[in-house]
């Protein structure tokens, strides 16, 4: 069972990026899914999360600019990032509660994808 994030890169200020994260393996169910980020010299922080019922929660700094969504059938979670500013430059990690067949729900991290916003 693993999470694979993609979609990061270098973008100019004011631009947009869409991150994707795919869960794979012998997955029985998926609970909450989310995106975190870690900037150089800072702790990892929550950016956005979405429950299995599609309730969402955002960090105050990204409200109105970032949108999290999920496709449960495809086992995917997305983060649409608009109106980007250099301050959001960080490694973005997807996370999810995944339950393997015959096991309990557990927390998993993806490998991270770099988003760099140039001014």
pLDDT digits (tens, 9 = 90+) for 38-89: 999 999 999 999 999 999 999 999 999 999 999 999 999 999 999 999 999 9
Relative to beta strand 113-118, strand 9-12 is parallel
The distance of Cα 56 from the centroid of its chain, to the nearest Å, equals 12
Residue % of the chain over a pLDDT of 70: 100
pLDDT band for 107, please (50, 70, 90 cuts). very high
- Segment 29-37 mean pLDDT: 97
> Given this model, what pLDDT does residue 43 score?
97
Mean pLDDT of the chain: 97
Contact 98, 88 (CB under 8 A): no
> Given this model, what pLDDT does residue 84 score?
97
> Given this model, what pLDDT does residue 98 score?
97
Distance CA 112, CA 4 (A): 8
Biggest alpha carbon–alpha carbon distance for the chain:
49
> Given this model, what pLDDT does residue 97 score?
97
């Amino acid at each position: 069972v693993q999470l694979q994030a993609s979609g990061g890169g270098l973008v100019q200020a004011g631009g947009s990026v869409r991150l994707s994260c795919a869960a794979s393996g012998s997955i029985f169910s998926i609970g909450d899914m989310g995106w975190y980020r870690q900037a150089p010299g800072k702790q990892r922080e929550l950016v956005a999360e979405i429950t299995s019922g599609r309730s969402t929660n955002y960090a105050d700094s990204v409200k109105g600019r970032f949108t999290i969504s999920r496709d449960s059938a495809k086992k995917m979670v997305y983060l649409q990032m608009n109106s980007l500013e250099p301050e959001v430059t960080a490694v973005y990690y997807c996370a999810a509660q995944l339950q393997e067949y015959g096991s309990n729900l557990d927390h998993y991290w993806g490998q991270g994808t770099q988003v760099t916003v140039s001014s």
